[in-house]
Amino acid sequence: MTILVFQIVAVLAVVVIAFFVLRGGGARHQAVRRILLVLFVLGAAVSVFFPQVLTWLANLVGIGRGTDLLLYILVIVFLGVAATTYRRFRQMETQITELSRRLALLSAERPPAAGDASPKPGRRRAPRASETGADQG
């Protein structure tokens, strides 16, 4: 039954990660990520200097060893990182697609209208013989 406690906590953690991934970003989202990073650094430092605390926490939630708890937490964190990376990648793909379309539209040349004898911008019309003075000789 004590393993059930950790299983519930782990599933809730995955649900919370999914919620943060699926909702929109912004300043609040960035702040939550920074707070979680600080908590991770503090937890890592405590587990290095006081490994018995990690074992105590593992026993508290029904897991035998602290290293097993660390592994389970690592898997949950990895799922969260993978999900946020995927979301960010999809957003960048969408932005690149839109920018590519805009650039293609801006750089496309318009076809000349019917009866338009003016040269296209950037192209020079070959001079006629009457304009060069070649027939005056």
Classify residue 130: in a domain, yes or no. no
Task: Report whether pLDDT(127) > 80.
Answer: no
Q: How far apart are CA 74 and CA 1, in angstroms?
A: 23
pLDDT digits (tens, 9 = 90+) for 25-52: 667 777 777 787 778 778 777 888 888 9
Classify residue 123: in a domain, yes or no. no
Classify residue 135: in a domain, yes or no. no
Per-residue pLDDT band for 110 (boundaries 50, 70, 90) equals confident
Classify residue 131: in a domain, yes or no. no
Give me the domain span that covers residue 66.
2-106
Classify residue 81: in a domain, yes or no. yes
Helix axes 51-60, 66-107, angle to 10 degrees: 90
Please give the helix or strand (H or E) that residue 22 lies within, else none.
helix 2-22
Total domains present in the chain: 1
Classify residue 119: in a domain, yes or no. no
Classify residue 77: in a domain, yes or no. yes
